[in-house]
Amino acid sequence: MKLERVEIVHIALPLVTPFRTSFGTMTTKDTFLLHVVTDAAEGWSEFAADPEPLYCSEFVAGAEIVLRDFLLPRAAALPELTVAALAPALAKIKGHELAKAALETAVLDAELRAYGMPLATYLGAVRDRVPAGVSVGIKESLGELLDDVGRYLDEGYVRIKLKIEPGWDLAPVRAVRERFGDRLPLQADANTAYTLADAEHLGLLDEFGLLLIEEPLEENNLHAHARLQRRIATPVCLDESLHSARDTASAIAMDACRVVNVKPARVGGYLEARRVHDVAHAHGVPVWCGGMLETGIGRAPNLALAALPGFTLPGDTSASGRYFAEDITEPFVLEDGHLRVPRTPGIGTEPLPDALRRFTTARRVLHG
């Protein structure tokens, strides 16, 4: 393929309810879509991060510059643009995995559309639908939390993840266990809010039989996570600390990570995400698909990935309605606690023109 034109479309979608984590509160999904036009087909993707670098070091305005000045010139210089050739062409640019993932995914969408192949087929999916979990933010009160969890369970979600931070950890976990029972698949995500000095305190979560505790300590400190794992029974799961299949191999070898949260954007795209899955699966380490409050453009390819054989735990791939009153694509709906894996070529969805127009805040041509 030859890259003809790349457009960035900034969008803002109000969230149905504010989402509070240990790193901040989000009330809108404010990001951009990439629209790639090649001589063979067109593709879409969504940038996974936010306007502020709170979850990771990348952010919306920075990613636009990285794409325009460093990534797109290299993609455009390829004599034959393929998704396989793209990551090697971008490798000299350090970091910026989320920006790279946005470009790679849009190119992948275009290339697969040119072949008429669904992403699920390309990746090696073995399921038609994937079980849906839901990530529940930090609330003002335990009563509010129990109401929200109860509502999600009534809707059919099969696994609950509670966001935790110092001061909001044992009490919410205990309250959810007491109200909804020991058999509810339950896990917690600290988004780096603790230190190794909190090991004894985190060990108090052991009695609640959590599936895992996600990223309890600082980002990229595999050593500290391994030391924590020696002191707690709850399996440690990494999110922020894993940027590649190589990181994943190191973390597993050190026993810093007994479960892996795979976010394709965090590792540079779907090709590397599949390698993360392969490394973990070969070690018998369960993986699940994380989320970044994506619109349907980001959610569709995540569902294809979550249909691979090593994804043995429900992910944060919730239905459109958990995030937005109106999505930018055809909405993903919960059917018996599951979401259907898209089965049309490429990522299997595209923006609805009318919704796209209404949610767009700015659009610029970045290339071509």
Interface residues toward ligand OSB, by CB under 6 A: 55, 135, 189, 191, 239, 290-293, 316, 318
Strands 129-131 and 42-46: unpaired
For residue 61, the number of C-alpha atoms closer than 13 Å in the C-beta half-sphere is: 3
**Which among ligand OSB, Mg ion, none contacts residue 192 (Cβ within 5 to 8 A by kind)?**
none
Q: How near is the Cβ of 265 to ligand OSB at its closest, in Å?
A: 10
Which residues 216-235 are close enough to bind Mg ion by CB under 5 A? none
Round to whole Å and give the CA distance between 234 and 258: 9
Residue of 58, 189, 247, 294 that binds Mg ion (CB under 5 A): 189
Round to whole Å and give the CA distance between 156 and 78: 47
Tell me whether residue 288 or residue 332 sits nearer to Mg ion (CB atom).
Answer: 288
Catalytic residue among 29, 100, 139, 263: 263
Dihedral pair phi/psi, residue 29, rounded to 5°:
-90, 105
Tell me whether residue 139 or residue 263 sits nearer to Mg ion (CB atom).
Answer: 263
Enter the tokens of residue 107.
């190119």
157 with 334: CB under 8 angstroms?
A: yes
Q: Is 263 part of the annotated catalytic residue set?
A: yes
The residue behind tokens 């349907």 is: 296
239 touches Mg ion (CB under 5 A) = yes
Tell me whether residue 109 or residue 214 sits nearer to Mg ion (CB atom).
Answer: 214
**Which among Mg ion, ligand OSB, none contacts residue 104 (Cβ within 5 to 8 A by kind)?**
none
**Which among Mg ion, ligand OSB, none contacts residue 248 (Cβ within 5 to 8 A by kind)?**
none
**Which among Mg ion, ligand OSB, none contacts residue 318 (Cβ within 5 to 8 A by kind)?**
ligand OSB
Binding-site size, Mg ion (CB under 5 A): 3
Round to whole Å and give the CA distance between 305 and 325: 25
CA distances from 309 to 144, 286, 290 (A): 36, 10, 16
Dihedral pair phi/psi, residue 23, rounded to 5°:
-105, -5
223: left (phi over 0), alpha (psi -120 to 50) or beta: alpha
Residue burial 305-333, b: 16+ Cβ < 10 Å; e: rest: bbbbebbebbbbbbbbebbbeebbbbbbe
Q: How near is the Cβ of 288 to ligand OSB at its closest, in Å?
A: 10
Tell me whether residue 64 or residue 239 sits nearer to Mg ion (CB atom).
Answer: 239
- The angle at the Cα of 267, spanning 305 to 247, to the nearest 5 degrees, equals 115
Candidate segments 88-96, 209-217, 301-309, 317-325, binder of Mg ion by CB under 5 A:
209-217
**Which among ligand OSB, Mg ion, none contacts residue 316 (Cβ within 5 to 8 A by kind)?**
ligand OSB
Q: How near is the Cβ of 213 to ligand OSB at its closest, in Å?
A: 12
Tell me whether residue 7 or residue 326 sits nearer to ligand OSB (CB atom).
Answer: 326
Round to whole Å and give the CA distance between 348 and 45: 11
Q: Which residues bind Mg ion (CB under 5 A)?
A: 189, 214, 239
- Which residues are catalytically annotated? 163, 263
